[in-house]
Amino acid sequence: MCCLICCVLLIVITSAKCSNCDRLQNRMNILEQKLFHDSKEFREDISALISKANQSPSVSADHEVDHGENNCEIDHSKTVPLSQVSSNIKDDYVRQSMNVMKKALSEEKQHTRKLISDVKTAVMKNLNKIVQLYEDIKKEVNDVKVTQSTCDNRFNKVLDSQNLIQDDLRSIHNTLVTVTKDTKDISNKLEKHADIQEVASKTLWHIHKNSFYLVGKEAKNWPEAVGVCKTLGAYLAEVEDSSENDFLTSLAKTTYKNSSGYGAWLGGSDSSKEGIWIWENSKTNITFDNWKTDEPNGNRNENCLHMYRQVNWKWNDIRCTKEMGYICERNY
- Condensed to tens digits (0 to 9), the pLDDT of residues 56-84 reads 444 443 444 344 444 444 444 444 454 44
Q: What angle do CA 150, 153, 156 make, to 5 degrees?
A: 150
pLDDT at 64: 40
Q: Which 8-state DSSP code applies to residue 332?
A: -
Does the model's pTM come out above 0.85? no
Please name the fold of domain 199-331: Mannose-Binding Protein A; Chain A (3.10.100)
d(CA 105, CA 123): 26
Range in 43-47, 151-155, 269-273 the model is least confident about: 43-47
| pLDDT, tens digit, 9 for 90 and up, residues 96-138 | 877 887 887 788 788 888 888 887 888 788 878 888 888 888 8
| pLDDT, tens digit, 9 for 90 and up, residues 251-297 | 999 988 877 789 999 999 999 999 999 999 999 999 999 999 999 98
pLDDT at 202: 44
Amino acid at 310: Q
3-state secondary structure of 54: helix
d(CA 55, CA 64): 20
User: Residue 315 pairs with which residues in a beta bridge?
Assistant: 291, 307
Each domain of the chain, given as residue ranges in start order, spans 2-148, 199-331
